[in-house]
Structure 1
């Protein structure tokens, strides 16, 4: 199964085009910093999603159908390549939250009263609430690794919460609000030394850093393709299970939408292939440079506070900030009117924001994507400076 079989341009041709041609939804004059909530889809992904319906007769909604099975296995293989997995089961679901909830429910029956589950204050609620709720039901204890005052999750903070009773450690590979990325290999090694298993939330990771689950030593890794230029689709890798297997899961939450169709699975595989064909070190440097430029520029504006990023640098190019005396919602609305898209709120990570801003966790969030430019950063800095200078 290849991308070209759908009659689309070869990926090698698409990924070397100018960035503006790789993202057809880019609009002149618009500065998009909303990537942490969901990136624009790549041209190749859009091609699949638009061309697939015209050839639907060659496929089937039944994942057991030979043609659908081929698509499923191909997409799973490209995802394994993206995250450095050797074998294991890949599951495609409606979103990261559904897959995480389903996974936690599958392992929760093995928890016994007195067992311990460790979460972190850096994580999104989607990687905390399911573990906490399941632990309570099973009579297990929940421990939380706290952050330093500058918003970092240290290995020491994790090891302090580990014990021989720890069964699972749930940790993020990259914060969706502070941009920090804990030392996952060291955390995995510490957890394994106590006999614990490790579940990693990698929603923000593949677009901005190399993921190598084999080297890390984690037991499960979950992410969202819509955060790395793909369709809305959750993808979960689980070390346990038949090597090379892949499944499509329906939504695990009551009332949630059904799991992804085969065309969405194919598009997720194509998104993984796009990343694999890019010069990823150059892409990662691009994101880091612009995020550092943005953070430095914001710190130079009177009345603006950058959250976290103690040395001005973070592995994930996300910058959260506040304008003193202005609500995050108001600032975001003013910027939106100028064609500058940023997020506002607590983004499911209030614990991380309260670690660096205890009294007012609501913030503005700007994320750098492949298509972000220096002109975009200048526009955002200019807009924020004008708002800060205008007073309340």
Structure 2
């Protein structure tokens, strides 16, 4: 049986919207995904029925909020196959998750140590390590990509030495859609004794993430890129590491005992979760993962591959359009340039036809500089994208081409 796209779409109220009299064609999923009604209802239910702080309240509302908040942690742990629930740390998103690791690593790095990233990184997976290296005297090494957007695996492996302390790379490139061989790359990094962090912001929504099978030490992702709320994310890390990792922030919840002279830290996961968390966001993320987990994983992955193949074929046949990023393994992203049109102009003219894409450097400025482009127009797909919407994109691009001529 084919994947039930229409059944999935029916659960997303925003997809019924029109823009300037045109049906919305939402192709900006690499920036954020839309939310199913069950997630929206969960947020409303929290604020309407049991809004309370968690863990410390001596009343029914606090008990209900705490139960659902911690149930969401169990949901995430199961979804990514964590070994223990305390390995799931709530964050504001992928960026904060990476910063937690970088903050701790900076305290451990020494001059002569090295951190390895790739040329396809989002800024969040560059600047954090850059700053950690600057403060510690360590060196930041960058693994190159080919013109296709595929990582040069030979060059990557040659950068790994006994000086390498951590390797960080994306599961999926947010700007090119390149899917990295994360299991093989992790194994190479572990062979020299390095820690491994994977930026999973673009990979998590495609399902099938098993942190134990991957073998990494840290995996970070955001809720809003997998049908959950904004402002909430996850840092998964090995318990043996997180239990001793330098604390990120201090304050409430992460404390065991405090005097005016000293303080001791709580156990995992709370030692890395200071302050009142985004309770509604966490519970909403749990609802999103519960909803996603009930879908036909194989079917949705096949559907996404078919969308990518269809979009690529149309792009190749479109005169005057150049695909930016043609790695053999891609997922959900078509970045492109058009003769005579700046990406910002393309995005504006598509918006007037009801088609939402992203333009610019996609928080990957060094990558754009490497590819010698000012930025790209980026259409990105999700499980609710119709093939007919991709057709609509290229029909609209025909009009854009005419208007820019």
Same fold (TM > 0.5): yes
2:401 counterpart of 1:388: yes
Secondary structure of 1:103's match?
helix
Please state how far the C-alpha of 1:385 moved relative to its aligned partner. Answer: 2.1
Q: Equivalences for 1:307-386 in 2 at 5 Å?
A: 307-311=324-328, 314-355=329-370, 357-358=371-372, 360-386=373-399
Judged with a 3 Å threshold, the aligned counterparts in structure 2 of structure 1 residues 334 and 382 are, in CA distance, closer, same or farther, namely same
Give 2:44's match in structure 1, choosing from 34, 47, 50: 50
Judged with a 3 Å threshold, the aligned counterparts in structure 2 of structure 1 residues 97 and 248 are, in CA distance, closer, same or farther, namely farther
Judged with a 3 Å threshold, the aligned counterparts in structure 2 of structure 1 residues 287 and 139 are, in CA distance, closer, same or farther, namely same
The structure number with the bigger radius of gyration is: 2
Alignment length, in residue pairs?
365
Name the structure 2 match of 1:80: 77
Structure 2 unaligned regions, length at least 5 = 18-22, 58-62, 244-266
Name the structure 1 match of 2:195: 197
The CA deviation string for residues 17-50 of structure 1, in whole angstroms up to 9 with x for no partner, is 8123211111251100011110111121111011
Judged with a 3 Å threshold, the aligned counterparts in structure 2 of structure 1 residues 113 and 248 are, in CA distance, closer, same or farther, namely closer
Distance 2:351 2:300 in 1: 26
Please state how far the C-alpha of 1:249 moved relative to its aligned partner. Answer: 6.2
- Over aligned residue pairs, what C-alpha RMSD do you find? 2.2
Distance 1:391 1:315 in 2: 29
Secondary structure of 1:221's match?
strand
**Stretch moving more, 162-171 or 24-33:** 24-33
Distance 2:166 2:276 in 1: 26
Secondary structure of 1:36's match?
coil
Distance 2:38 2:184 in 1: 36
Secondary structure of 1:25's match?
helix
Name the structure 2 match of 1:122: 120
Name the structure 2 match of 1:22: 11
2:54 counterpart of 1:62: yes
Distance 1:124 1:102 in 2: 16
Judged with a 3 Å threshold, the aligned counterparts in structure 2 of structure 1 residues 268 and 259 are, in CA distance, closer, same or farther, namely farther
Give 2:314's match in structure 1, choosing from 297, 303, 328: 297
Judged with a 3 Å threshold, the aligned counterparts in structure 2 of structure 1 residues 266 and 50 are, in CA distance, closer, same or farther, namely same
Name the structure 1 match of 2:92: 94
**Stretch moving more, 21-30 or 142-151:** 21-30
Distance 1:285 1:352 in 2: 29
Distance 1:142 1:184 in 2: 20
Q: Equivalences for 1:79-228 in 2 at 5 Å?
A: 79-87=76-84, 88-228=86-226
Structure 1 unaligned regions, length at least 5 = 1-14, 252-257
Please state how far the C-alpha of 1:323 moved relative to its aligned partner. Answer: 0.9
2:233 counterpart of 1:234: yes
Please state how far the C-alpha of 1:371 moved relative to its aligned partner. Answer: 1.4
Please state how far the C-alpha of 1:156 moved relative to its aligned partner. Answer: 2.0
Please state how far the C-alpha of 1:264 moved relative to its aligned partner. Answer: 1.2
- Aligned partners of 2:87 and 2:236 also within 8 Å: yes
Secondary structure of 1:207's match?
helix
Please state how far the C-alpha of 1:68 moved relative to its aligned partner. Answer: 3.9
Distance 2:315 2:402 in 1: 13
State TM-score, norm by structure 1: 0.88
State TM-score, norm by structure 2: 0.85
Judged with a 3 Å threshold, the aligned counterparts in structure 2 of structure 1 residues 245 and 42 are, in CA distance, closer, same or farther, namely farther
The CA deviation string for residues 37-79 of structure 1, in whole angstroms up to 9 with x for no partner, is 101111211110111112125xx31344454442232111111
